[in-house]
Amino acid sequence: MKKIFAVSFISVGYFLNAQSISNSPYATYGIGDVKYDNTIETASMGGISTAYISDFTSNFNFANPANNSNFELTSIKLEATNENNYFKTNYNDTKSTKHSTYLSNIALAFPLSPKVKLGLSYQPYSSKSYDIVNMSSDKEGNLFSNRFSGSGTLNTAQAAVSYKIDQNFAVGLRANLYFGNLYDLNELRTADKDGNVSEFINGYETKNSIKNFNFTLGGSYQSLNTRTDRKLTIGATATFGNTSNMTTDYVNSTYVYSDAANSVKALETIIDQKSTSSKNLLPLQASLGVGYGSENHWFVSGQLDYKKGEDISYFGKSFDFQDTYRISAGGWYLPNYNNFRSYFSRVVYRYGAFYERGNLKINGNSINKFGISGGVMLPFKTSSITRMSGLELGLEIGKRGTLKNNLINQNFINLRVGFNFADRWFRKNLYN
């Protein structure tokens, strides 16, 4: 166990050093690509979490903090994601690829009492990382170079507490803190038909400084038939109490770069400058899920998520997003946890699929997303069902966007790897 623990932290060190979150050109709008929920466990099951109460004592559910009735151990999770995006557009028959690897989840959870459980986590919530150049010309032969670039990450830190009311009902509350800076820059250069490039650049820069706080309230009901070991689970969540402090600074100016790296501006002349505040960055969100399964053997669930459209300033203008809906289905299967002669009989196999109507609508086309997912939890050699520690692996394959109206089709393959260390740590032994 000590060797595995050391190897995991070496791996985390590598991912931290290589931290670079990629995304699609659709990240140019708003707060970038929202990562939804990066935990391997739920992502491998299509994103289902609202009605998912783990049968095992080592998994803490942050998405619905009420779903931790069975959690009994101290758990440390370290997870990383490798994203592979493949883009295509009919505009000039353009194709491109983008890859990145980043640390996607750090979580610590432990029971405070048999009825009260606590969890702390960190995740990147959304990101911007794009650089696009568009060349065009007018009837006189003058050339125009339009460069769009963006960077930054919006992170989230969470603290969740769950309370088991009785054998069937539980409630939970999660506090969410969002923080980070997001940048967008549009630069226009011109050149005449003889190739003489304009010395000055016209730049439109937007900087969003974000500090946002809200709560997620969750509830769950689970009924277990002890005669057949079959169980029915119903869960619901709502995110509310949004307290936002997002400041948007917009500058339209002309300038030249004084260095080869094009990072230091000189001779800047301000044409227009604005600063606004927004309190509608992360509005109402809600989720409802239903699940059914057999104790310690299999589980399947369906889920509906809703997020109200937000508005955000973008290059000096207010940009509105439409409401988002997401339908997910998935579950897990454990062949036989008592079979210690066959290792793969004690492996947890996960599967799922989802469809999401995106919040973006461009030229009358909603930028939707769908995909399928799968994964396994490979228990450590000494791991038992009461102390389910192991290596988490997940795979997600899907598509986003469309080729209509010269828009961009994005195919993606996301790989996830993580470690879950669970044991009865931080507890004093009563007997030696």
The pLDDT tens digits for 347-397 are: 999 999 999 998 888 878 888 999 999 999 998 876 666 667 889 999 999
Higher pLDDT, 258 or 80: 80
pLDDT at 191: 75
The pLDDT tens digits for 395-404 are: 999 999 888 8
- Give SS3 for 68: coil
42: which residues sit within 8 A by CB, 6+ positions away? 48, 49, 52, 63
Q: Rounded mean pLDDT of 299-303?
A: 98
Q: Rounded mean pLDDT of 43-66?
A: 94
Distance CA 119, CA 149 (A): 37
The answer, yes or no, to whether residue 304 has pLDDT greater than 80, is yes
Structure tokens at 44: 């491998």
pLDDT at 195: 63
pLDDT at 139: 73
**What percent of the chain is modeled with pLDDT above 90?**
43
Closest by CA position to 366, among listed 405, 418, 403, 401? 401
The pLDDT tens digits for 137-169 are: 777 777 778 888 888 888 999 999 999 999 999
What residue type is assigned to position 274 of the chain?
K
Residue 321 CB neighbours (<10 A) = 19
- List the beta bridge partners of residue 336: none
CB 331, CB 374: distance < 8 Å = no
Structure tokens at 260: 């080869």
The answer, yes or no, to whether residue 261 has pLDDT greater than 50, is yes
**Confidence band (pLDDT; 50, 70, 90) for 184?**
confident
pLDDT at 177: 92
Q: Rounded mean pLDDT of 223-252?
A: 89
User: The pTM is what?
Assistant: 0.84
Q: Rounded mean pLDDT of 70-74?
A: 91
The answer, yes or no, to whether residue 16 has pLDDT greater than 70, is no
Higher pLDDT, 267 or 417: 417
213: which residues sit within 8 A by CB, 6+ positions away? 175, 176, 177, 178, 241, 242, 243, 244
Range scoring the smallest mean pLDDT among 59-68, 315-324, 370-379: 315-324
The pLDDT tens digits for 280-291 are: 667 689 999 999
